[in-house]
Amino acid sequence: MLLVNPLARADGSLRFGVTVTKRIGNAVARNRMKRRLRALAREILPLQGIAGADHVLIGRENGIERDFAVLRQELEAALARAAAGKGDPPRRNGPRGRGGAKAHGR
């Protein structure tokens, strides 16, 4: 059975976007994280991305310190899960959890 994504582009092209929140650090740290994610996307998505899909890479804590090879492996694993129709594994909530006192980051 072939599943068709109604939001996929007919030409099969893929796009990507990168987002990093202020929780990651100052502007220099956020920009560095975005550069690393863009480099990964340009390297891996043409080979392993899902045709016709939009890919969104979200910078998480410790992404700047994490080894680039580990980030590559994690992205490849995430793309394999997505291609198999599986979602991301559940994440553990951080020390603040969800809906904490600083829900708006102020």
Cβ-Cβ contacts under 8 Å for 91 (sequence gap 6 or more): none
- Element at 20 (helix H, strand E): strand 15-20
- Element at 15 (helix H, strand E): strand 15-20
Does the reported pTM lie above 0.75?
no
Confidence of residue 3 (pLDDT cuts 50, 70, 90): very low
Position 4 scores a pLDDT of 45
Q: Which domains does the chain have, with CATH numbers?
A: 15-83 (3.30.230.10)
pLDDT digits (tens, 9 = 90+) for 40-76: 999 999 999 888 888 999 998 888 889 999 999 999 9
Task: Reply yes or no on whether the pLDDT at 8 is more than 60.
Answer: no
